[in-house]
Structure 1
């Protein structure tokens, strides 16, 4: 009897212990839902983003008057689409299951407070709405992450490269782009194009010439869609050699005229650009300027083809037997009476 009581007691203790263990395990597992959002914020409320890299260097993006700018980079406009894509991507990250939860693992996966690949903080009115550490990559476009204040390390679909830490990763490279349909006139060193109906044509186009649509369209698109690589500053430097321009282009729009002055520093393959409507100096890649430097009038026009004369029957007029240059069956030519034997 005594043995039976002891045995039943042990069974009861085991059942209670198992119940407690299962309940604790369920409590630990409950928050980790594969479909739950990791950060839980609304992209529209974010008005500041800070991104810090492994070297502790980083950038700030601030929303001003509804537009994202780089406040520490000449107040320059940011690429609005790129910022929106980042926020939407972060907002859509799923929580998933943790791959580790210890402090040692945080260091190993590089999501620790002082050791990370990226530290991204999203703010509203200077208060964080999301705080994320980005670390090592377990596979293509996947990274380990940890939300600040949590020990859970997760693998999510993201890339540290999507959160660049340099201003040039975020600046609006199309800052100088214009709508080519609104261009009224383009003045280059060797020729001038003016708007005529829906096209830009040479001002000195001859009556026997016609424009080549493809090269003209390509030239206009290159000027209208010019992209910058970086902002060099707002002060001229002798190294820029703006006093010895390689190319000057004037573009007239309905509301303004812009003069582009391109120069090239010594031993560099890129160019410095200064426009008349900005106090900033820009860096432009050499490949963008090469076609503009090579632009020549003769590449944009062709001679009109003379229409063939037709007979009354509608056929091309045939050469008479006495016409100069008339070919014989043997491949020779007859030149009047002297060619007859």
Structure 2
């Protein structure tokens, strides 16, 4: 009996070892393979991206050297940080849980060639390389996605609705920003403001050096007993140095300029003989202003609050105070 039990034990051990070998050879016991990336192209090779949504809304972004532009907006600079952030999100995507492989499910999941939440077309050297169709939500913060030309549909962690489809959402809004400390002069009509060095308070009369002097704003042709408000002028300079645009003005916007109102013009001189001219143009029946700049041919919309603040600052009685 002992021999029989021993034989059965040996047989059991042999079967276990044999099963392990068989399962190993067929990959049953090997680690799960890493999921494949949804995009196979190298990020550095991308030359163009087209983002499409429902109703044929779309945005095209093209790479020029190391920067992105909007070709439909006369190659206006795009927000590089926003484009790179989108690419980073896309290149982080890997094949998630496969939820379907049937073409009949494409319409229901909104990942068909004609019905989708977002379609992203990626080009290499001007040729279409990759297409992704993002559809309905698979779960909380999960989206259905399908590669163009394939039938597999995956669930991935991605919010396709966050991808903006208006050119204005991809503009480089801070295209006119410059360091405020570079400003030397500002002219607003008859108001002439200049930066000059004056002796610091408490500096000895017999010492003249950079450490004994400070910058101060002056205004030409001041009324008697009036002096420049250093606080208000510094605030104006900071605002001018940080002008942002909200969008490109449409043809209808330009037609709606109130020609009866004189544009408010800011002429700014910077270090190294650099200069800028900004014009604010009032719109009819609106509180908004359009912006024109000497360095660009386009006309822009400004954030209403920013434009209003500049207009309110562009007054002599705001930029001056009574002498104490």
Given the two structures, how large is their TM-score scaled by the length of structure 2?
Answer: 0.73
1:190–1:140 Cα change, 3 Å: farther
- Which stretch of structure 1 is more off in the superposition, 42-51 or 138-147? 138-147
Alignment-derived partner of residue 207 in structure 2: none
3-state SS of 1:133 partner: strand
Alignment-derived partner of residue 229 in structure 1: 246
Contact 2:118 2:161 in 1 (8 A): no
Contact 1:100 1:153 in 2 (8 A): yes
Alignment-derived partner of residue 208 in structure 2: none
Structure 2: how far apart are the matches of 1:116 and 1:238?
A: 36
| Structure 2 gap segments, 5+ residues each | 1-21, 198-213
- Say yes or no: does 1:241 pair with 2:258: yes
Structure 1: how far apart are the matches of 2:195 and 2:320?
A: 16
1:47 Cα deviation from its structure 2 partner: 0.8
1:100–1:289 Cα change, 3 Å: same
1:298 Cα deviation from its structure 2 partner: 5.5
Structure 1 stretches of 4+ with a deviation exceeding 4 A read: 197-200, 204-213, 233-238, 296-305
Alignment of 1:253-272 (within 5 A): 253=270, 254-272=272-290
1:78 Cα deviation from its structure 2 partner: 0.9
Structure 2: how far apart are the matches of 1:70 and 1:60?
A: 6
Structure 1: how far apart are the matches of 2:61 and 2:138?
A: 28
3-state SS of 2:60 partner: strand
3-state SS of 2:55 partner: coil
- Which stretch of structure 1 is more off in the superposition, 168-177 or 111-120? 168-177
User: RMSD of the alignment, in Å?
Assistant: 3.2
Alignment of 1:187-206 (within 5 A): 187-189=187-189, 191-196=191-196, 199=215, 201-203=217-219
Question: How many residue pairs align between the two structures?
Answer: 278
Structure 2: how far apart are the matches of 1:126 and 1:185?
A: 46
Alignment-derived partner of residue 37 in structure 1: 37
Contact 2:226 2:320 in 1 (8 A): no
Which has a greater percent of strand? 2
Alignment-derived partner of residue 289 in structure 1: 307
Which has a greater percent of helix? 2
| Structure 1 gap segments, 5+ residues each | 1-18, 306-341
3-state SS of 2:69 partner: strand
1:211–1:41 Cα change, 3 Å: same
Deviations 1:129-156 (A, max 9, x none): 3211111234554322111122222222
Deviations 1:167-186 (A, max 9, x none): 11211111222222222212
